[in-house]
Amino acid sequence: MTTYYGTEAGGLIYATERGRLPEWSEVEDPEAALLVASEYIDANYGLLFGGWKTGGRAQDRQWPRVNAYVNDGSLNWPLLPSDVVPDEVERATYELAMRVGNGTVLTVDFNAAGSFKKAAVEGAVSVEFWGSGTAADAQTVFPIVTAILSPLFTGAGAGFSSLSGSRERV
């Protein structure tokens, strides 16, 4: 079973084709970066992927999958092979692995107690505010990763209308 998506060589090719070789060559431990990136993709996008894991619960990663389709813009979505990790997943992994390898933290710990703000004027007034921050507000967003993976979003959380069968913003 796949421990992480992509390969070190694939990351090098991806970065080179995009003129980002310095970013990839600064990644000290590419395998660790690929693993962290793969775990992030599975945790944050797994429910959006159609189908189910080929190896069921025994399979660590979300891919490969059975009955997964790619939204290629046509009305006839092609079925993806059940033994292959899609190129989109590997490209998104390389994007995140470059960030991980260069010190970017993908998920941030959040403490709600840090949302309180207090202002006081000695002897006159004291006001305490509750910030509306949530854990989601504290997380870094990677729009390029979402854009790369979006053709694979056909699962339960993908925002499809049961009435029209088309995508809608949820």
What are 32-75's pLDDT values in tens digits? 999 999 999 999 999 999 999 999 999 999 999 999 999 888 88
pLDDT at 167: 47
pLDDT at 164: 39
pLDDT at 95: 97
Q: Inter-axis angle of helices 8-17 and 87-101, to 10 degrees?
A: 90
pLDDT at 75: 81
Alpha-carbon span 70 to 74, nearest angstrom:
10
pLDDT at 165: 45
pLDDT at 115: 54
Question: Do residues 15 and 102 make contact, with C-beta atoms less than 8 angstroms apart?
Answer: no
Residues of the chain short of pLDDT 70, as ranges, are: 1-2, 110-123, 126-139, 157, 159-170
The pTM (predicted TM-score) of the whole model is 0.78
pLDDT at 168: 45
Alpha-carbon span 160 to 140, nearest angstrom:
25
Q: Inter-axis angle of helices 8-17 and 30-45, to 10 degrees?
A: 80
